[in-house]
Amino acid sequence: MKKIVIYISLWAGIFAVSCNKSTPEAPEGIPMSFGAAAVSRAGNLVDSENINLAGNKLTVYDLYTTSGQSVLYMNATQVTCDGSGNWTYSPLKYWTETGEHAFTAYLSKQGEITLDGTTSTTGYPTVTYDQTSNALSISQWEITPKNQFDFLYAYHSRNMETDGNAHDPVEFELNHLLCAVQFNVVNLMPDSDVEVTLTGFTLSGLHKGSAVIKQGTPTITFDTDATDAVYDFSAGIASEGQNLTFNQAHNLFSNSIDEGYVLLWPYAQNVFQNVTGTISYKYGSTEVSGREIKLIDGGTNNWSAGQKYVYNFYIQDNRISLEVKVVPWKVDDVIIEE
């Protein structure tokens, strides 16, 4: 699974504020501090290594255990990036000298999108924390191109008595909960006199997903009462259809989703076998309407969290072939000096 390293740091200049009486407060000493190590890649919401953008927020929980008892030392603390690699929060918390801190965190604000719990109006999930199991629960989330959010989560444990660097900044390894999928249609009809026009594309067999994240590992469940959803992902197709140039990939999300990818739930094999793409197109005077292709026929039998998939549908007369590639989440540019 793709991981992004974040370490949390805060400066001692923030003053301390006493906590709720049920939460222990360490005396002023060495503060918990935050900073970011992830490399920013501006303008790419699918590539979550733009985590350092100003205004992005992590929601952090710290379950502190000592003498056999556990209490929340940090409870849904909002940690905000200033755009310069600094992550700050208030009130300041100080390291204890004994016991163990178990941190759980998730990205709760990215750009203009905030997971604020108003799922009835925004389409985004609610996130709740269970102190007993130290786990996050993500409510049912019907993902479409209109409610994209790269959900990242992390956890970190720190034993104050045995860890040799107990007062160092907290390092988070952020994990992708979702996968990213790209769909392209390619015209393989070389006859220049035959115009090929793409008229529609939909996906069926998708579900409202939900997840429980415990110790960094999501347990993904699906709404078994809901029928398989059919989503129209034709945002990249003009209302009158889209002419397809010979042997060039037409990206179905190029007009709405950054880099032509859409974020979707991971799918296990027994669920993925029901996911179907339906393509409609015209060539010359012939119209091919509602041609269905099961995505599992491309040779990939599931979608895994943190993976990116590229699906190419090749059109030749009334035939469609399918090619699937798994690609890196981020491709680094390499400069070779002579």
- Does residue 184 have a pLDDT over 60? yes
- Does residue 153 have a pLDDT over 50? yes
What is the pTM (predicted TM-score) of this model?
A: 0.84
Instruction: Output the pLDDT for position 10.
Output: 40
Instruction: Output the pLDDT for position 238.
Output: 56
* CATH of the structural domain 179-327, one choice from 1.10.357.10, 2.60.40.2630, 3.30.750.200, 3.30.2420.10: 2.60.40.2630
Residue 49, classed as helix, strand or coil, is helix
Record the tokens describing residue 243, joined without a space: 């002419």
* Domain 3-176 matches domain 179-327 at the CATH topology level: yes
What is the share, in percent, of the chain residues with pLDDT greater than 70? 76
Q: How confident is the model at residue 119 (pLDDT cuts 50, 70, 90)?
A: very low
- Residue 4 burial (CB count, 10 A): 23
DSSP string, 258-327: GGGEEEE--B-HHHHTT-EEEEEEEETTEEEEEEEEEGGGGS---B-TT-EEEEEEEEETTEEEEEEEEE
**Mean pLDDT score across all residues of the chain:** 81
Average pLDDT score over residue span 135-140: 93
The model's pLDDT over 220-274, given as tens digits with 9 standing for 90+, comes to 888 766 666 677 666 556 555 678 888 888 888 765 556 788 899 999 888 898 8
- Does residue 307 have a pLDDT over 80? yes
What is the rounded radius of gyration, in angstroms, for the C-alpha atoms of the chain? 24
Among 38-47, 162-171, 256-265, where is mean pLDDT lowest?
38-47
Q: Round to whole Å and give the CA distance between 181 and 199.
A: 20
Contact in structure between 269 and 289 (CB atoms under 8 Å):
no
Q: Round to whole Å and give the CA distance between 105 and 107.
A: 7
Query: How do the domains of the chain map onto residue ranges?
Result: 3-176, 179-327
Instruction: Output the pLDDT for position 71.
Output: 94
What is the share, in percent, of the chain residues with pLDDT greater than 90? 38
Structure-token match 């409609």, residue found: 280
Residue 18, classed as helix, strand or coil, is coil
Single-letter amino acid, residue 195: E
Shortest CA distance to 263 belongs to which of 154, 61, 107, 55?
A: 107
- Does residue 287 have a pLDDT over 70? yes
The model's pLDDT over 188-218, given as tens digits with 9 standing for 90+, comes to 988 777 889 888 888 888 888 899 999 888 8
The model's pLDDT over 57-94, given as tens digits with 9 standing for 90+, comes to 999 999 999 998 999 999 999 999 888 778 889 999 99
Helices vs. strands in the chain: H and E counts, helices first: 2, 22
* CATH of the structural domain 3-176, one choice from 1.20.5, 3.30.70, 2.60.40, 1.10.3470: 2.60.40
Give backbone dihedrals phi and psi of 295, rounded to 5 degrees, phi first. Answer: -65, -25
DSSP string, 134-162: TEEEEEEE---TTS----EEEEEEEETTT
